[in-house]
Every structure is written in C-alpha cells, then in structure tokens.
Amino acid sequence: MNKISLKKSDFAVFTVVALILIWVACQPHPIETFKLYTKEHGYILSFLKFAILATFGECVALRIVNGCYWRPGFGLIAKAVMWGFIGLFLKASFTVFAVGSPAVLTSLGLNISAEDGFFARLLIAFTTSVMLNTVFAPVLMILHKIYDDHIQVHQGKIRSLIIPVDVADRFASIDWNNMWGFVLKKTVPIFWIPAHTFTFMLPPDARIIFAALLGGVLGVILAFASLKSRAAY
C-alpha cells in the first residue's frame, strides 16, 4: 500500500468538491428543493446519488490503496451504472424494512409506535437496522462483489454491463476470509447497524440525505476490502 501524501490530484478533487458544495449552498432553499425532488423522483435521485457518491467512494479507496483516483481498467462508468442500480434496490429496501420491521415488534407483543417517545423510536430504528443489515445487506454486498469482479474481469469496459455474468465462477473466486472476516463480520455489527439505527431515527426526508452520504462510505468500505484482498495476492 502506498504511503498517503497530498498530490495535485487531491487538491483538484478537494477544489471540485468545495465548488459543488458552494454552488449547492448558494441555491435558494436547497434542502426544500432536494426534499421535493426526492419525493417526486425518489428512484431517479437514488440512482444518481449512489452512482456518484458510491463510485466516488471507490475512487477514494483506490487513492488510499494505490495512490491514484483512477487507472486504466478501473471501469469508472461501469461501476457508476452498477452503483446506480444498487441505489434503486436500497431505496426499495428502505421502504420495505421501514414498514415491515415495526410489524415484527408487534408480532412479539410490543405494541409501540414512533409517537410513544424517544426510546420507542430508538427500538423501532434499531430493529429496522438489524433486519436490514442481517437479511438484505449481506446479499447486497455479495452481489456487489460478484458484479465488481465481473467488471474487472472485462477490464472495466462499458460492454461488461451487457455481457452475461458467470455467477458461479465469480462466486467461487470470492475471498471468503475477507468477505466474512471483514465485510460481514466486522462492518455490519460495528458500523452499519449503528449507522442505520441513526438513519431510521431521522425523519423520512432526512433519511434519504443521510443514506446518500452512507452510500459513499459503503463504496469506500467495499472497494477498500476488495482492493486489499487483491493486494494480498
């Protein structure tokens, strides 16, 4: 792994991110506008948010591991499309688990609602996060690994998006010590369950904003784990 030191590319990235944030801050009512578009075009925005933020997270992970934000064969566009579709699944899963998880508590005899106070909201949020991260997240992370490796096998070319995935071969090539020992065993209970507990404590509109930020973190974690695994060979 390269020693991290600031390069011209880092300053360029910082400048672009700062300019985007300044532009957003200068818009009239940016939060209200974001909420409106999220309500009216939620799935389209989820695709775009994860395509941009999670892919940027992978670029950051590449910078940490190899000292650059991009390299030939990285598959920037292919990864962005892949993350966009993952964003669609996450948007749907948030809806499913936010509605279904409180019903689990009801089935256990706990007839509580968010209106019953802070601890009731905390229990509902924690239950939702546990269900999301134990039932859905492992499947999502494994699928991400399969499709990410598929993109790498085809040298990051855009046509990898339409080439059938050899799922059996990609599944067999997964470094399960890394996938289980780091991605699932450590990040799920230590980071994702607490992070999504906080997410589901927020109002629905704010959850979408926070989930978009977590999408970037997810990109960093999964890409870093993948790159770390490849560096071991």
pLDDT digits (tens, 9 = 90+) for 114-146: 788 889 899 999 999 999 999 999 999 899 889
What does pTM read for this prediction?
Answer: 0.81
Which pLDDT score, from 0 to 100, does residue 1 have?
46
Task: Please compute the mean of the pLDDT values over residues 59-71 and round it to a whole number.
Answer: 82
Which tokens in the block code for residue 55?
């892919």
For residue 167, name the pLDDT band (cuts at 50, 70, 90).
very high
Share the mean pLDDT of the chain.
84
H or E element, residue 85:
helix 76-107
Q: How far is the C-alpha of 130 from the C-alpha of 122, rounded, in Å?
A: 12
For residue 170, name the pLDDT band (cuts at 50, 70, 90).
very high
Which pLDDT score, from 0 to 100, does residue 128 have?
94
Q: How far is the C-alpha of 60 from the C-alpha of 184, rounded, in Å?
A: 21
Domain boundary assignment for the chain: 8-231
Which of 148, 139, 165, 17 shows the shortest CA–CA distance to 81? 148
Is the pLDDT reported for residue 218 higher than 50?
Answer: yes
List C-alpha distances in Å: 50 to 18, 116, 128: 19, 34, 21
